[in-house]
Structure 1
Amino acid sequence: MTVPDYPRPPFKPQQQSFPGKTDKMDPRPDHGEDSYVGHGLLAGKKALITGGDSGIGAAVAIAFAREGADVAIVHLPTEEKDAQRILELVKKAGVDGVALACDISDPELAAKTVESVAERFGRIDVLVNNAAYQKYYESMEEITLEEWTKHFNTNVHAPFNLVRLALPHMQEGASVINTASVQSKKPSPNILPYAATKGAIANMTVGLAGLLAEKKIRVNAVLPGPIWTPFIPAGMAPEEVETFGEQTPFKRPGQPVELASAYVMLAADTSSYTSGALLTVSGGAATL
């Protein structure tokens, strides 16, 4: 495979409301629609992916399906169009797939969603906690307690709750993969609430890995660097969008598909001794 000559900044000025739409991005992100080739690494596995409608989650859903896993995509109700597009690609891989609308920060809806996936697939082998909330703030005064709480409800409390809910449907060898961020090690001040939640997720990952080891369930996290997803025009200042990714040694942001192999590796049985790992994928950018 030859790595495409992916887009480099400067990018066109663009802003969206959260959570952002793939179709409105310029350039359009690469989720592996035409490039990811599977090798049966996840054959027969049953996966639940939150935020699987766009960005990193969409790339993971496509990759998992092409590796042979049945895939449940959990998405916000407003993301139905994107979710159905990814679901179509999942089914084209010859596996079972379903898209479920759910605000994961709602405990009751989250419980119903997990039960629905478990009933359809019979079990859950891989839980990917990828969905998150991010907002840009000009100053400390803009960060209300309500906004701070919203970040933690979606980015920390919900993933913990999903692990708790999924556990009864997991068997030995199952895997939890959390999406943390390089923000957990090197926080950007203007997205402080988001960065703080990612620090919590990284810490929770290591703690859960120890707690669930006796059940032979692995817990790991991927720490993406700057990745070109709808989060960027929806959660950053316009001037930062234009130069996004230029600070890395690669001089560009990563594409969602470039993260997919990390999630596949952590989900595969060949990573049976890997737990508590925080895997950074950042285009060579240094982190603490």
Structure 2
Amino acid sequence: MQTLQDPRQQYPVPPYDQSPQPHPGSDQKMSPQADHGETSYQGSGKLSGRKALITGGDSGIGRAIALTFAREGADVLIAYLSEENDAQETVRLVEEAGRKAIAVRGDIQDEAHCQQLIQQAVDDLGGLDILVNNAAFQMNHDSIAELSSEEFDRTFRTNVYAMFYLCKAALPVMKPGSSIINTTSIQAYQPEPTLLAYAATKAAIANFTKALAKEAIEKGIRVNAVAPGPVWTPLIPSTMPEEKVKSFGEDSLLGRAAQPIEIAPIFVLLASQEGSYITGMIYGVTGGRPIA
């Protein structure tokens, strides 16, 4: 039996001693270290035999999803941008759980790459039952005047266009009972002006999810989204001012940021048979901050 813990004290609280990182950041350089469920998560066969593709699967929430999926019995293909060491660590964790792991490097802004990811999942995993659109790009700016058109475009291409490319390519090869899960954010509902472009993409993801769910269910495929609040991932020290990083998450009711493993079990639910009556929904995991 697990020992009950006060959720406010279960993980480190601010101030954090993390130093800045170059984008997109590395899990290996996080301080305090992020928890992806390496020692805490035990599966029970909820995803036995499933085949999953997870974007941004090298670190943060994506790594936690890959690990929990593997411990639930799924084989996993992770797509990542450039952090080779992080990607190989995720592969190691998945293989240690006894499941097949494939890591594919590339930029999901490119539609052809997204199409190839779907085909590789089908070819190398033997099918595709779960698509997780998790990868994201963000930068902080004090003013819209500092936000370039090029960066605005990159944010939408990474966060929204790639989701569109992948869903469009995935739906024809997915069978009834499959699941698509998108990562939106509390920023879709409570946007910060410093994250103007990112917040707008997350609102688009929420809307896209609800609309696609109505079409996909005609094929027996469920589409949902998870809306995290503050989560301790490499994206934070690689995109936010150092002072904000130190206090990151202290405005939640728990007084701290979530760890990736506190987000991943929702993805397991939505991917599994236990979530069979859930589609077109947005699940908030925000430490008590409301989503409307």
TM interval, shorter chain, is over 0.9
Q: Distance in 2 between matches of 1:217 and 1:112?
A: 21
1:158 and 2:165 aligned = no
Compute the displacement of 1:286 (Å).
Answer: 2.5
Amino acid at match of 2:190: K
Alpha-carbon separation, structure 2, partners of 1:56 and 1:224: 10
- 2:236 counterpart SS class: helix
| Other-structure match for 1:27 | 32
Map of 1:9 onto structure 2: 14
- Superposition pairs of residues 68-147 of structure 1, within 5 angstroms: 68-76=73-81, 78-147=82-151
Structure 1 13/47 Cα, relative in aligned 2: closer, same or farther at 3 Å?
closer
Distance 1:40 1:286 in 2: 32
Q: What is the distance in 1 between the residues matched to 2:157 and 2:48?
A: 33
Q: Distance in 2 between matches of 1:103 and 1:278?
A: 26
- Choose from 276, 283, 287 the match for 1:272: 276
User: How many angstroms apart in 2 are the aligned matches of 1:123 and 1:26?
Assistant: 38
**Could you tell me which amino acid in structure 1 is paired with residue 123 of structure 2?**
E
The within-5 A match list for 1:119-268 is 119-268=123-272
- Map Cα deviations across residues 220-253 of structure 1 (whole Å, 9 max, x no partner): 0000000000011112111110110110110010
Match of 1:64 in 2: 69
Counterpart residue identity of residue 162, structure 1: L
Q: Distance in 2 between matches of 1:72 and 1:187?
A: 32
* Number of positions where the alignment pairs a residue of Structure 1 with one of Structure 2: 287
Shift of 1:140: 1.3
Whether the 8 Å contact between 1:220 and 1:278 is mirrored in structure 2 is yes
Aligned partners of 1:24, 1:97: CA distance in 2, in Å? 23
Match of 1:44 in 2: 49
CA distance in 2, matches of 1:55, 1:281: 15
Task: State the TM-score, normalizing by the size of structure 2.
Answer: 0.96
Q: Distance in 2 between matches of 1:286 and 1:208?
A: 24
SS in 2 for 1:212: helix
Q: AA paired with 1:56? A: I
Higher mean alpha-carbon deviation, 179-188 vs 113-122, is at 113-122
Alignment RMSD, CA only?
A: 1.1
Q: Alpha-carbon deviation of 1:13?
A: 5.1
Identity of aligned residues (%): 49
Structure 1 CA distance for aligned equivalents of residues 240 and 105 of structure 2: 25
SS in 2 for 1:105: coil
Unaligned runs of 5+ in 1: none
Three-state SS of the structure 2 residue aligned to 1:42 is: coil
Gaps of 5+ in 2: none
CA distance, structure 1, for counterparts of residue 277 and residue 117 of structure 2 = 30
Take 2:189 and 2:133, find their aligned partners in 1: how far apart are those partners? Answer: 19
Residue 213 of structure 2 contacts residue 224 of structure 2 at CA under 8 Å; is this kept in 1? yes
SS of 2:223 mapped into structure 1: strand
Partner secondary structure for residue 263 of structure 2: helix
TM-score with structure 1 length normalisation? 0.97
